[in-house]
Amino acid sequence: MIKGLHRLSTLKSTWVNRDNTKGLCVGCLSANAGNGLCHLCKADLPVNQWHCYCCALPLAFPGAGTLCGDCLQSPPPFDRSLIPWRYQYPVDSMISRYKYNGQRKFARPLIAGLSEHLHTAILESGEAKPDILIPSPMFPARRRKRGFNQARDIAESLGKALSIPVDTGVVRRVHKVQAQRGLSREARLANLRGVFKVCAAVPERVAIVDDVVTTGATVRVLASALREAGAKEIQIWALARTPG
Ligand SMILES: [Zn+2]
Ligand SMILES: [Zn+2]
Protein backbone atom coordinates (compact mmCIF):
# COMPACT_ATOMS: atom_id res chain seq x y z
CA MET A 1 0.00 0.00 0.00
CA ILE A 2 2.29 2.64 1.34
CA LYS A 3 5.21 1.39 -0.77
CA GLY A 4 4.25 4.20 -3.13
CA LEU A 5 6.03 6.54 -0.74
CA HIS A 6 9.33 5.57 -2.42
CA ARG A 7 7.94 6.76 -5.69
CA LEU A 8 6.98 10.06 -4.13
CA SER A 9 10.59 10.93 -3.41
CA THR A 10 10.97 11.63 -7.10
CA LEU A 11 7.80 13.68 -7.16
CA LYS A 12 8.64 15.96 -4.31
CA SER A 13 8.27 19.24 -6.14
CA THR A 14 5.39 18.14 -8.32
CA TRP A 15 1.70 17.76 -7.81
CA VAL A 16 1.60 15.80 -4.58
CA ASN A 17 2.99 18.77 -2.76
CA ARG A 18 0.65 21.31 -4.23
CA ASP A 19 -2.34 22.66 -2.43
CA ASN A 20 -4.73 21.60 -5.15
CA THR A 21 -3.94 17.94 -4.44
CA LYS A 22 -5.99 17.97 -1.26
CA GLY A 23 -7.65 14.62 -0.92
CA LEU A 24 -4.79 12.58 -2.41
CA CYS A 25 -3.05 10.02 -0.21
CA VAL A 26 0.69 10.72 0.23
CA GLY A 27 1.27 6.97 0.56
CA CYS A 28 -0.39 5.59 -2.57
CA LEU A 29 -1.79 8.61 -4.41
CA SER A 30 -5.33 7.26 -4.22
CA ALA A 31 -8.18 9.69 -3.75
CA ASN A 32 -10.48 10.11 -0.73
CA ALA A 33 -7.69 10.61 1.78
CA GLY A 34 -8.53 12.27 5.07
CA ASN A 35 -5.71 14.54 6.22
CA GLY A 36 -3.44 13.22 3.46
CA LEU A 37 -3.53 9.47 4.11
CA CYS A 38 -6.15 6.96 2.92
CA HIS A 39 -7.55 4.54 5.49
CA LEU A 40 -5.49 1.60 4.11
CA CYS A 41 -2.19 3.50 4.35
CA LYS A 42 -3.20 4.82 7.76
CA ALA A 43 -3.74 1.24 8.92
CA ASP A 44 -0.17 0.43 7.77
CA LEU A 45 1.47 2.95 10.12
CA PRO A 46 3.54 1.35 12.91
CA VAL A 47 1.46 2.07 16.01
CA ASN A 48 3.38 2.32 19.29
CA GLN A 49 0.87 0.07 20.99
CA TRP A 50 2.91 -1.40 23.85
CA HIS A 51 5.29 1.06 25.38
CA CYS A 52 6.83 2.43 28.55
CA TYR A 53 4.32 4.70 30.32
CA CYS A 54 6.98 7.28 31.11
CA CYS A 55 9.26 7.52 28.06
CA ALA A 56 7.09 5.67 25.45
CA LEU A 57 9.93 3.28 24.56
CA PRO A 58 8.36 0.52 22.44
CA LEU A 59 8.03 -2.70 24.45
CA ALA A 60 7.46 -6.27 23.26
CA PHE A 61 4.66 -6.94 25.73
CA PRO A 62 1.49 -5.20 26.95
CA GLY A 63 0.96 -3.72 30.40
CA ALA A 64 -0.82 -0.59 31.55
CA GLY A 65 1.56 1.75 33.34
CA THR A 66 4.59 -0.47 32.60
CA LEU A 67 8.00 1.18 32.88
CA CYS A 68 11.08 0.25 30.83
CA GLY A 69 14.33 -0.77 32.55
CA ASP A 70 15.87 2.61 31.88
CA CYS A 71 13.03 4.55 33.55
CA LEU A 72 13.06 2.15 36.52
CA GLN A 73 16.80 2.52 36.96
CA SER A 74 17.00 6.23 36.37
CA PRO A 75 13.54 7.90 36.59
CA PRO A 76 13.27 10.72 34.03
CA PRO A 77 12.41 14.28 35.15
CA PHE A 78 9.08 14.06 33.30
CA ASP A 79 5.87 12.20 34.09
CA ARG A 80 4.56 10.70 30.92
CA SER A 81 5.08 10.50 27.15
CA LEU A 82 2.29 10.38 24.59
CA ILE A 83 3.81 9.21 21.29
CA PRO A 84 1.48 7.31 18.96
CA TRP A 85 3.93 5.81 16.41
CA ARG A 86 7.18 3.92 16.26
CA TYR A 87 9.94 5.55 14.24
CA GLN A 88 9.90 2.93 11.49
CA TYR A 89 8.92 2.88 7.83
CA PRO A 90 6.91 4.71 6.58
CA VAL A 91 6.71 7.13 9.54
CA ASP A 92 10.51 7.73 9.43
CA SER A 93 10.38 8.58 5.70
CA MET A 94 7.36 10.83 6.15
CA ILE A 95 9.06 12.76 8.96
CA SER A 96 12.34 13.08 6.98
CA ARG A 97 10.52 14.55 4.01
CA TYR A 98 8.77 17.01 6.26
CA LYS A 99 11.83 17.99 8.24
CA TYR A 100 14.60 18.03 5.68
CA ASN A 101 12.66 18.81 2.49
CA GLY A 102 9.99 21.03 4.01
CA GLN A 103 7.18 18.88 2.59
CA ARG A 104 4.48 19.44 5.15
CA LYS A 105 2.02 17.20 3.36
CA PHE A 106 3.84 14.18 4.71
CA ALA A 107 3.49 15.39 8.29
CA ARG A 108 -0.13 16.44 8.05
CA PRO A 109 -1.63 12.97 8.63
CA LEU A 110 0.81 12.32 11.49
CA ILE A 111 0.07 15.62 13.22
CA ALA A 112 -3.68 15.04 12.82
CA GLY A 113 -3.26 11.53 14.25
CA LEU A 114 -1.26 12.81 17.22
CA SER A 115 -3.95 15.37 17.86
CA GLU A 116 -6.65 12.65 17.87
CA HIS A 117 -4.51 10.52 20.16
CA LEU A 118 -4.10 13.39 22.64
CA HIS A 119 -7.78 14.20 22.45
CA THR A 120 -8.62 10.67 23.58
CA ALA A 121 -5.84 10.40 26.16
CA ILE A 122 -6.33 13.79 27.80
CA LEU A 123 -9.63 15.47 26.98
CA GLU A 124 -11.90 12.43 26.80
CA SER A 125 -10.42 10.92 29.95
CA GLY A 126 -11.06 14.16 31.83
CA GLU A 127 -7.39 14.82 32.61
CA ALA A 128 -6.25 18.37 33.13
CA LYS A 129 -4.67 19.87 30.03
CA PRO A 130 -1.14 21.29 30.17
CA ASP A 131 -1.09 25.04 30.79
CA ILE A 132 1.28 25.56 27.86
CA LEU A 133 2.97 23.65 25.05
CA ILE A 134 6.71 24.14 24.72
CA PRO A 135 8.23 23.19 21.37
CA SER A 136 11.69 21.67 21.74
CA PRO A 137 13.87 24.65 20.81
CA MET A 138 16.31 24.58 17.95
CA PHE A 139 19.64 26.37 17.87
CA PRO A 140 18.93 29.62 15.92
CA ALA A 141 21.54 29.04 13.18
CA ARG A 142 20.15 25.60 12.55
CA ARG A 143 16.61 26.88 12.39
CA ARG A 144 17.65 29.53 9.88
CA LYS A 145 19.31 26.89 7.74
CA ARG A 146 16.25 24.62 7.80
CA GLY A 147 13.81 27.49 7.48
CA PHE A 148 11.53 26.32 10.26
CA ASN A 149 11.44 24.47 13.55
CA GLN A 150 9.31 21.37 13.05
CA ALA A 151 8.62 21.10 16.80
CA ARG A 152 7.11 24.57 16.77
CA ASP A 153 5.03 23.78 13.70
CA ILE A 154 3.66 20.63 15.36
CA ALA A 155 3.02 22.45 18.66
CA GLU A 156 1.09 25.19 16.86
CA SER A 157 -1.20 22.66 15.17
CA LEU A 158 -1.78 20.81 18.45
CA GLY A 159 -2.32 24.04 20.33
CA LYS A 160 -5.00 25.09 17.87
CA ALA A 161 -6.71 21.68 17.91
CA LEU A 162 -6.69 21.32 21.70
CA SER A 163 -6.98 25.01 22.66
CA ILE A 164 -3.70 25.16 24.56
CA PRO A 165 -1.36 28.15 24.21
CA VAL A 166 2.07 27.57 22.65
CA ASP A 167 4.96 29.34 24.32
CA THR A 168 8.13 29.67 22.28
CA GLY A 169 9.81 32.18 24.59
CA VAL A 170 10.05 30.14 27.79
CA VAL A 171 13.18 28.26 26.91
CA ARG A 172 16.01 28.76 24.46
CA ARG A 173 18.73 26.57 23.08
CA VAL A 174 21.89 28.53 23.82
CA HIS A 175 24.59 26.14 22.66
CA LYS A 176 25.14 23.97 19.68
CA VAL A 177 25.80 20.34 20.57
CA GLN A 178 28.25 17.89 19.09
CA ALA A 179 26.73 14.96 17.23
CA GLN A 180 25.17 12.60 19.77
CA ARG A 181 25.49 9.46 17.67
CA GLY A 182 27.75 6.82 19.13
CA LEU A 183 27.90 8.44 22.58
CA SER A 184 26.89 6.60 25.75
CA ARG A 185 23.89 7.87 27.66
CA GLU A 186 26.09 9.57 30.28
CA ALA A 187 28.15 11.21 27.54
CA ARG A 188 25.01 12.40 25.77
CA LEU A 189 23.66 13.96 28.96
CA ALA A 190 27.04 15.61 29.67
CA ASN A 191 27.14 16.87 26.08
CA LEU A 192 23.75 18.55 26.57
CA ARG A 193 24.53 20.20 29.91
CA GLY A 194 23.81 23.93 29.81
CA VAL A 195 22.26 23.73 26.35
CA PHE A 196 18.85 25.07 27.42
CA LYS A 197 18.17 28.35 29.16
CA VAL A 198 14.81 29.03 30.78
CA CYS A 199 14.01 32.69 30.09
CA ALA A 200 10.54 33.18 31.60
CA ALA A 201 8.24 31.92 34.33
CA VAL A 202 7.15 28.31 33.83
CA PRO A 203 3.61 27.26 34.76
CA GLU A 204 2.90 24.09 36.74
CA ARG A 205 1.76 21.87 33.91
CA VAL A 206 3.65 21.78 30.63
CA ALA A 207 3.99 19.53 27.61
CA ILE A 208 7.23 19.48 25.62
CA VAL A 209 6.51 18.94 21.92
CA ASP A 210 8.97 17.35 19.49
CA ASP A 211 8.85 15.43 16.22
CA VAL A 212 10.83 12.34 17.24
CA VAL A 213 12.16 11.11 20.57
CA THR A 214 15.27 9.00 20.02
CA THR A 215 17.37 8.28 23.10
CA GLY A 216 15.37 10.65 25.25
CA ALA A 217 18.53 12.51 26.35
CA THR A 218 17.35 15.85 24.93
CA VAL A 219 13.92 15.70 26.56
CA ARG A 220 15.50 14.64 29.86
CA VAL A 221 17.76 17.71 29.89
CA LEU A 222 14.99 20.04 28.74
CA ALA A 223 12.53 18.66 31.31
CA SER A 224 15.13 19.04 34.09
CA ALA A 225 15.59 22.70 33.23
CA LEU A 226 11.81 23.25 33.27
CA ARG A 227 11.42 21.36 36.54
CA GLU A 228 14.14 23.45 38.17
CA ALA A 229 12.24 26.53 36.99
CA GLY A 230 9.00 25.41 38.66
CA ALA A 231 7.16 22.96 36.38
CA LYS A 232 5.47 20.27 38.46
CA GLU A 233 3.93 18.05 35.82
CA ILE A 234 5.75 17.53 32.54
CA GLN A 235 4.57 15.48 29.60
CA ILE A 236 6.35 14.71 26.33
CA TRP A 237 4.26 14.81 23.17
CA ALA A 238 5.80 13.65 19.89
CA LEU A 239 4.94 11.94 16.62
CA ALA A 240 7.30 8.98 16.87
CA ARG A 241 9.61 7.08 19.20
CA THR A 242 12.63 5.05 18.12
CA PRO A 243 12.48 1.39 19.10
CA GLY A 244 15.53 1.62 21.33
ZN1 LIG B 1 -3.01 5.39 0.59
ZN1 LIG C 1 10.85 4.31 29.85
Compute, in angstroms, the gap from residue 244 CA to the centroid of ligand 2: 10
Residue 43 or residue 177, greater confidence: 43
pLDDT tier, 33 (very low <50, low <70, confident <90, very high otherwise):
confident
Fold of the domain spanning 48-241: Rossmann fold (3.40.50)
pLDDT of residue 8: 46
Compute, in angstroms, the gap from residue 44 CA to the centroid of ligand 1: 9
Amino acid at 239: L
Mean pLDDT over 7-33 rounds to 61
Q: Which ligand is nearest to the CA of 69?
A: 2
Mean pLDDT of the chain: 87
First to last CA, the chain: 26
- Whether pLDDT at 168 is above 50: yes
Burial code of 173-192, b = ≥16 C-beta within 10 A, e = fewer?
beeeeeeeeeeeeeebbebb
pLDDT tier, 21 (very low <50, low <70, confident <90, very high otherwise):
low
Which pairs from 30-36 meet CB under 8 Å and 24+ separation? 33/109, 34/109, 34/112, 35/108, 35/109, 35/112, 35/113, 36/105, 36/106, 36/108, 36/109, 36/112
Annotated domain spans of the chain: 1-44, 48-241
- What stretch of H or E contains 92? helix 91-101
Q: Which ligand is nearest to the CA of 35?
A: 1
Q: Which ligand is nearest to the CA of 73?
A: 2
